[in-house]
Amino acid sequence: MTFLDLYYISPELSMVAWGGLILFLDLFLKRKDALGPFALLGLVLPVGFCISLWLEINVSPYGELSGLFGTITVDKFSLFFKSLFLLTLGLTILASQEYLKRFIRAKGEYYCLLFFCSTGMMLLVSSVELISIYISLELMALPLAALAAFRKNYRSAEAGLKFLILSAVSSAFILYGMAFVYGATGSTWLSDITANLADSGTVHAVSFGSYALLISMVFLLAGLGFKLAAVPFHMWVPDVYEGAPTPITAFLSVASKAAGFAIVLRIFYAIYANLDMDWGLIFAVISVLSMTVGNIVAIIQNNIKRMLAYSTIAHAGYILMGVAAFSSDIKGVDSVGPSGVLFYLWAYGLTSLAAFYVVIAVSGDSENERIDSFAGLSTRSPWLAFLLTLSLVSLTGLPPTAGFISKLFVFNAAVNNGLTWLAIAGLANSVLSAYYYLKVVKVAYTSQPTSGKRIYVSRSMWIALGVTGVGILLVGVWPYSLSVFSDSASKAFVDTLANLSFVRQ
């Protein structure tokens, strides 16, 4: 291991070091409230290292930096996701301040686990070797299970236990899938796997390419489908989202989903992109199922966290439209599909975080998460009502919000790659989702409040709400900057795919 290897993983190393420092300071600090600002301060280092790596990549002739014996690669694709994780972590820390005062005493452990979990996600999106990918997945999943159970009440304990058990099952599926890939190719490096498939002629051996690869794809799809919260691997989502502390639910809905999609793109397009089968149709079917099941079941929910849980299942379906669109045009190595996926993940992240933060502010000490608790919100807190409306309108996909532009991108990718029927299904589901999203808006503006007491919102929560609210509007009316960011990241991903030693003929 060289100094350059350490530099390439400097964002992750700084996250681990700061997380450990938080835990150490927690032993001595009497005023635990100081840990929140200290945790925020710790994000300066990984952000600075990410910017430095981005600038170095711009002058690199290869467009990427490889280290740790080729197990990790730092490119614009991985840095795109790392920026999303760091933003989500920072907003989660801000939104957790008042929540921690009311419900959670172990603040040091809480922040430490958030830092370790984010480190696993950041390593995951840079990993290009199967064992490294698996270790990163576990580093991400285990702290998340602990955080889901952090409230130490019945619902939170149930959420943590369900997440832990089902995460272990999904990890077993992923490990079995990787074992079959290794058996078929003799390597765990993604680039070598692609090259070995080309050299052995395995790709054209049977209709799918190889029975071992077919089995591996089934296992990997099942295991990674859990991370994506896609149907039919979604059964854990509503219970975990409802029982986990709400800031962790928000973090889980954005960061975990983004990490899952990043690794799906890495693995599936390196290993399976060249097989003699239009396997993108599988993603298209899962996309339709996720959209439809998520939206239909969300309609009948009375708890807003469960409603948003089924909503995130539906949005996994929308994002999968971009994945399916790219796989259907892998011959042309088109970046429209992955660019739409990346743009959607950022836009959805801002929108989902805003919605959950309003839920935190409104539920307050009562912990009432029923939709009817939002009755008369426009009277009790006009700004919260506005931000709730903005986030739900964006989740619906209406202009002028980030949700509208992001759906436009993935629908366009589907149509341009011959999946018009999938775009129509997505449009129909967007119309269906308007019913339950706007129902909450109606309750907030037309129903009589059950209490005349104004809602107290802390300064840190207002900052988190302000960042997400401005982000939703800014991306909606001026998507250029985020579009350029996602295009550069997706182009780096596609260039890496095109430069692999085997490309479908």
pLDDT in tens, 334-366: 556 678 899 999 999 999 999 999 999 988 756
pLDDT in tens, 386-406: 999 999 999 999 989 999 999
pLDDT in tens, 183-215: 888 888 888 887 777 665 555 444 455 678 888
User: Of residues 505 and 293, which shows the higher confidence score?
Assistant: 293
Sign of CA dihedral 278, 283, 285, 288: negative
Euclidean distance between CA atoms 372 and 24, whole angstroms: 43
Band of pLDDT at residue 328, cut at 50, 70 and 90: low
**The pLDDT of residue 82:** 95
**Which of 456, 311, 454 is closest to 371 using CA atoms?**
311
pLDDT in tens, 471-502: 999 999 999 999 999 988 888 887 766 655 44
Band of pLDDT at residue 100, cut at 50, 70 and 90: confident
How is residue 504 annotated by DSSP?
-
How is residue 454 annotated by DSSP?
P
Would you report the helix, strand and coil content of the chain in percent, each value rounded to 5?
A: 80, 5, 20
Three-state DSSP state, 189: strand
How is residue 457 annotated by DSSP?
-
Q: Are 78 and 53 in contact (CB under 8 A)?
A: no
Between β-strands 64-67 and 72-75, what pairing exists: parallel, antiparallel or unpaired? antiparallel
Q: Are 162 and 240 in contact (CB under 8 A)?
A: yes
- Name residue, tokens 């991985």: 78
Per-residue burial over 61-89, b if 16 or more Cβ lie within 10 Å, else e, is eeebbbbbeebbbbbbbbbbbbbbbbbbb
Sign of CA dihedral 272, 273, 275, 277: positive
Euclidean distance between CA atoms 26 and 302, whole angstroms: 39
Q: Is 466 exposed, middle or buried (0-12, 13-18, 19+ CB in 10 A)?
A: middle
CB neighbours of 490 closer than 8 A, spacing ≥ 6? 77, 335, 338, 339, 341, 342
Q: Which of 9-23, 155-169, 180-194, 422-436 has the least mean pLDDT?
A: 180-194
Euclidean distance between CA atoms 21 and 6, whole angstroms: 19
Question: Residue 72 belongs to what H/E stretch?
Answer: strand 72-75
Euclidean distance between CA atoms 90 and 39, whole angstroms: 8
Using the predicted structure, report yes or no on whether residue 125 has a pLDDT greater than 60. yes
Give the bridge partners for 303, in sequence order: 370
pTM for this model (two decimals): 0.92
User: Of residues 384 and 205, which shows the higher confidence score?
Assistant: 384
Using the predicted structure, report yes or no on whether residue 456 has a pLDDT greater than 90. no
